[in-house]
Amino acid sequence: MHTKHPLPALFTVVLLWVTQPLWGCTTPSTVSLATRTTTSITISYSASGTYHQIEYGTLGFSLGNGNRSAWVTSPTFAASNLEPSTGYDFYVRDSCSDGTVSSWTPYYATSTLCGVAALPWFENFDQDQMTPQPSWPATGPGSWPNCWPRTPTSGFGWVVNPTPFPNNFTGPASDHSGRVQYAVTDVIGFTGTNTDATLRTPQISLGTASSPELSFWYHMFGNGIGSLEVQVKSVGTGPWTTVKTITGQQQTSKTAAWINEIVSLTAFAGDTIMIRFKGVRNSTFTQFSEMAIDDIHVRQGSGCAAPANVQVAGVTSSTATLSWLAGGGTWSQICFGTGTVSPGGGTIITATGNPGTLTGLSPNTTYQAYVRDSCSLGSSSSWIGPVSFTTDCVPVTTPYLETFDGTSWAPGGWGQPGTIQGCWSRNTIADYFWAPGPPAFPAFNTGPSGDHTPAAGGKYMYTETSTFTNGTSTILTSPAIDLAPLDTPQLSFWYHMYGADIAGLTLEISTGTSWTNLWSVSGQQQTSSTAPWLEAIIDLGPYANDTIKLRWTGSKTTTLTQTADIALDDVGIYEKPSCPKPSGLAVTGKTASTVTLSWSSTGVSPWQVEYGSPGFTPGNGTVVTAATNPFTVTGLNGSTSYSFYVRDTCGVSGTSQWVGPIGATTLCTQVKAPWSEDFSGTDWVQSSGVWNDPGDIGLCWNRSDTTGYYWTPRSGATTWPNTGPNSGAGGSGKYLYTNVNALTPLITRVTTPWIDLTAIDTPAIYFWTHLYGSNIGSMAVEINDGGGWVNLTTVYPGDQTAKSSPWTENIVNLYTYRNDTVRFRFSASRSSGWWAMMGLDNISVDAAPPPTCVTPTTLSVASITPTGATVSFSTLSGYSQLAIGATGFTPGFSTLTNPNATSPTVLTALTSSTSYDVYVRDSCGPGLVSGWKGPLTFTTLPCPAVTANFNYTGLVLTRIFSAQGSTSGNNYSWDFGDGTGGTGSSKTHTYTSPGTYLVTLIVTNSCGSSDTVTIPITVCGVLSAKYTSMVAGLTAAFTA
């Protein structure tokens, strides 16, 4: 009840008026929870006015339909007699002294403490006790009331939105009721190995409700969704009972409408129950598995069971047929309308049967519809739905052409379906689906390089794989097409099927009752993205005067592939020509100078074949008459690409249209030296930057790998910062380099074409290398003349220390292979790492450079003596010549001291105190020597004076003789005076008998100087002590 307050005095009114904001009474702010129990909630708020009013009710109630308080002055308000485990919305407004009332605050949602809730019970997940996951980099499940247990709370589990990483490929765009939050399955954190997640409600007493029911809204968009199970359990008794299972994704986009589900709980009438929602994803690695639920309502039902499984059975341009599983009613009602329709909104009709048909619809218009059962007058079930459908377009007339180039055909982003013209349809826009091309990120090894008629707009339809979990076939359906204007209708379309995992393409036709197979082909039909499109021509004569639809089904061999892009373009229906053009044009053989073609034809011999360079226009090529089918075109150049067209001759009916082009490249032939490759030609195509695109290499070149570690062309700097060059060897243009895409393989090779060397007498191979990167091993260069691979040279890192370092030129003489035909192989090896990008550029085979012999760069002398010295020098050839003579001499062949010198060389027999010049030069072969390095001048040492003298020691007959001032290099000769002698600066000699001997020492140096000394020495023998004695009495006489 609204309570009026007496106005203050006029003076007071005036004062308050001038202090109030000009825009009226201010709305309260900061509504928050003060306290709560199982049956009460106390809120607080900030307000500028004196009086406040509160309105509250269960979550989602409409203002004016809740419990409204009297005007209060307290900054808090307590709501009592509430139900446990139940959420409530609170609104607050102010009444100001000027008589104005503020607007209501936004809703504040909170809940009572856990307990047993009563009917009707509602939850929309917007209460403050339910918080979302924290923002990255923090992780966690957010907070929920204790009576809402979740399992698990990490990995794949239930949370409330918003999720930390919104995903364009799963989940709803917003909540069902237009508020904020809903419950959703998400990966909590970054990983999760579980596939099941459960969320349980509080306990709910069904009380005396005779027909209790559960209503909830769900959104299930994402190809990783497995199922959503709804289970019910009576508290204290019995197991969990599954009352509803919804399998697979149910919506096809984030913005698709939520779906309402109503489940009867009559089997649990009178019980206290718990409800559990179990989300299941189809794999542990998928992130596309967000199942959302919102606006759960447990209430008294009408007692009339609702229908289920409402489906669209078929549509025309003005009708739609719906089918359903009847609930408990005796008849059903359908409500429908365009755009978004609320249950019971739009037009309501009583269905005359099941299925039921809606009539009077507009062509090419999207509708929503609901169905409910009526059990008796005044007793109807809840509405079930919505189901959406789009009516067919008004049939298009013939002749008809669809090029997919119009503005209504819009390619999407990566993994996105884009948009198609409204009268065409596809059975899915997730997993594996038809989409307008070209794709935003073309897959490697599949799909065409461009559309069939690129000058007309460049678009086509193709089968796109956005995930690896579901879908091996996908359908594209044309609008209805009226063939009546044509007498003998004929269909043609172009297709491109390049991809190892393509299973096939099937075309079916329908006149409105069923689908009939019209055409099919199995497996990939092209072998490259640049291979020409193929044309299918189909006679539609049996369907003349009918209105038809066409349906193409593309299929792949497995879900785990992206190499299955099937493309379709230029679909046309025309009057069958009087001279039909051939079909099935194919290349059946080729050599270095011929190409053999075959085709299917209703015409007669002869046919006409026109050929020329790729891209030529018929009428500008070379025309030859083909008397046979197959037919061989001769006189072509080897290693050359051509395009071919064929047309029929039909006698008086003239000639058919040209069919083609089909491309073929003649086989490789050997190239003739001189030959060069700088990788700048158009056949060297740099990678698009997509991880699995290795680019294209030149015709007749081969490489060992195109995935992990491979040679590929590039211009500018390589992508990795610590390896590879900044540019080509010349500073610009393309070069070849080893791209690192994986840690294996460790060796990658690229091989040149065969090269005929006979035109060059002294052939050599020239090439430039750039080896910068810590994981580079080496680059081996090998040659093969038909007898196997032989190593020519190996280039090692070291010359380059940065990306900007200059390239290194390498020259290898091929003289031993003159008159041969050879090819070369460059083998790059690395350790296990990423910094291994090697550059190769400007390869050529040409005449070897004129022979040269390089002059040694260093010459030095050491260990100088009066008669010798040691000379050291540098050498490249390994063979050197030395010349030495008196200072000022002229070196020449006649003055060679050592014609086969090696470093170091010891010079001997020189003259002391003499100045010499020494020269050195390299010898590089017969008659090929370098210039002289020198002169290097040095002077031998002077000869020192020679003095002979000696000392001796010893006892008895042995003497030790030592020369005084002995000098290394001198010669010492001894004469011991007894007919014997010796050499050396020190000698020991034993005489045979005592006596005096003349000992002579002769000292001679290396210069030939000598000195002699003779010294007499006395040698004593061994002394012997003897005596005799005589004794007489006491007297003894001794005699020595």
| Per-residue DSSP letter, 542 | G
Q: What is the pLDDT of residue 879?
A: 81
Average pLDDT for 711-725:
94
Q: What is the pLDDT of residue 717?
A: 95
Which residue stretches of 181-279 are H helix? none
Q: How confident is the model at residue 328 (pLDDT cuts 50, 70, 90)?
A: low
Q: Is the pLDDT assigned to residue 1025 strictly greater than 80?
A: no
Average pLDDT for 830-849:
94
Per-residue exposure over 439-463, b if at least 16 CB sit within 10 Å of its own CB, e if not: beebbbbbbbebbbbeeeebbbbbb
DSSP secondary structure of 336-395 = EEESS--TT-SEEEE-SSSSEEE-SPPTT-EEEEEEEEEEETTEE---EEEEEEEPPPPP
Average pLDDT for 29-40:
93
Q: Measured between alpha carbons, how far is 558 from 472 in angstroms, rounded to an integer?
A: 6
Q: What number of residues does the chain have?
A: 1040
- State how far the alpha carbon of 32 is from the alpha carbons of 147, 517, 662, in Å: 21, 67, 75
Please state whether beta strands 595-600 and 986-990 pair in parallel, antiparallel, or not at all (unpaired). Answer: unpaired
High-pLDDT (> 90) share of the chain, %: 57
Per-residue exposure over 589-603, b if at least 16 CB sit within 10 Å of its own CB, e if not: ebeeeebbbbbebeb
Tell me how far the alpha carbon of residue 874 is from its chain's centroid.
53
Give the Cβ contact number of residue 858 at 10 Å: 11
Q: Is the pLDDT assigned to residue 16 strictly greater than 50?
A: no
- Greater confidence, 853 or 555? 555
Q: What is the pLDDT of residue 12?
A: 29
The residue to which tokens 């809703």 are assigned: 107
Q: What is the pLDDT of residue 17?
A: 30
Tell me how far the alpha carbon of residue 905 is from its chain's centroid.
62
Residue 135 near residue 100 (C-beta atoms within 8 A): no
Q: Quick one: residue 523, left, alpha or beta (phi over 0 = left, psi -120 to 50 = alpha)?
A: left
Question: pLDDT tens, 158-186?
Answer: 999 887 777 888 999 999 988 889 999 99
Please state whether beta strands 481-482 and 396-397 pair in parallel, antiparallel, or not at all (unpaired). Answer: parallel
Q: Is the pLDDT assigned to residue 98 strictly greater than 80?
A: no
Q: Is the pLDDT assigned to residue 581 strictly greater than 80?
A: yes
Q: Is the dihedral of CA 311, 313, 315, 319 positive or negative?
A: negative
Name residues whose C-beta falls within 8 Å of residue 434's C-beta, 6 or more positions apart in sequence: 420, 426, 461, 462, 463, 464, 474, 475, 476, 552, 554, 568
What does the mean pLDDT of the chain come to?
Answer: 89
Residues linked to residue 158 through DSSP beta bridges, in sequence order: 185
Phi, psi of 17 (to 5 degrees): -60, -45
Residue 653 near residue 624 (C-beta atoms within 8 A): no
Q: Is the pLDDT assigned to residue 10 strictly greater than 70?
A: no
- Greater confidence, 22 or 286? 286
Q: Measured between alpha carbons, how far is 823 from 289 in angstroms, rounded to an integer?
A: 55
- Greater confidence, 316 or 811? 811
Q: Measured between alpha carbons, how far is 917 from 938 in angstroms, rounded to an integer?
A: 7
Q: Measured between alpha carbons, how far is 763 from 813 in angstroms, rounded to an integer?
A: 6
Average pLDDT for 672-690:
90
Q: How confident is the model at residue 32 (pLDDT cuts 50, 70, 90)?
A: very high
Average pLDDT for 289-314:
87
Q: What is the pLDDT of residue 23?
A: 46
Question: pLDDT tens, 613-671?
Answer: 988 989 999 999 999 999 999 999 988 889 999 999 887 767 888 988 888 889 888 89
Q: Measured between alpha carbons, how far is 82 from 41 in angstroms, rounded to an integer?
A: 8
* Surface-to-core class of residue 975, CB atoms within 10 Å of its CB (0-12 exposed, 13-18 middle, 19+ buried): middle
Question: pLDDT tens, 370-381?
Answer: 999 888 777 788
634 three-state secondary structure: coil
Q: Is the pLDDT assigned to residue 1031 strictly greater than 50?
A: yes
Q: Is the pLDDT assigned to residue 220 strictly greater than 70?
A: yes
Question: pLDDT tens, 889-945?
Answer: 988 877 777 888 889 999 988 888 899 999 999 888 777 888 899 999 999 988 878
Q: Is the pLDDT assigned to residue 116 strictly greater than 70?
A: yes
The residue to which tokens 């997640």 are assigned: 197
Q: Is the pLDDT assigned to residue 7 strictly greater than 50?
A: no
DSSP secondary structure of 390-412 = EPPPPPEESSEEE-S-STT-B--
For the chain, helix, strand, coil in percent to 5 are 5, 45, 50
Candidates 699, 711, 630, 707; CA nearest to 666 is: 699
Average pLDDT for 140-150:
90
Q: What is the pLDDT of residue 19?
A: 32
Q: E strands within 627-733? A: 631-633, 641-649, 659-665, 671-672, 675-677, 702-703, 709-715
Q: What is the pLDDT of residue 3?
A: 36
Q: How confident is the model at residue 469 (pLDDT cuts 50, 70, 90)?
A: low
Position 19: which residue type?
T
Average pLDDT for 765-790:
97
Q: What is the pLDDT of residue 497?
A: 97
Residue 224 near residue 288 (C-beta atoms within 8 A): yes
Q: What is the pLDDT of residue 283?
A: 87
Ordered domains of the chain (ranges, CATH): 10-113 (2.60.40.10), 121-300 (2.60.120.200), 308-390 (2.60.40.10), 397-575 (2.60.120.200), 583-665 (2.60.40.10), 671-844 (2.60.120.200), 859-939 (2.60.40.10), 950-1019 (2.60.40.10)
Q: Measured between alpha carbons, how far is 146 from 136 in angstroms, rounded to an integer?
A: 25
Q: What is the pLDDT of residue 1?
A: 35
- State how far the alpha carbon of 21 is from the alpha carbons of 17, 73, 640, in Å: 8, 21, 86
The residue to which tokens 């199970």 are assigned: 229
Candidates 919, 876, 924, 913; CA nearest to 897 is: 919
Q: How confident is the model at residue 2 (pLDDT cuts 50, 70, 90)?
A: very low
Q: What is the pLDDT of residue 71?
A: 92
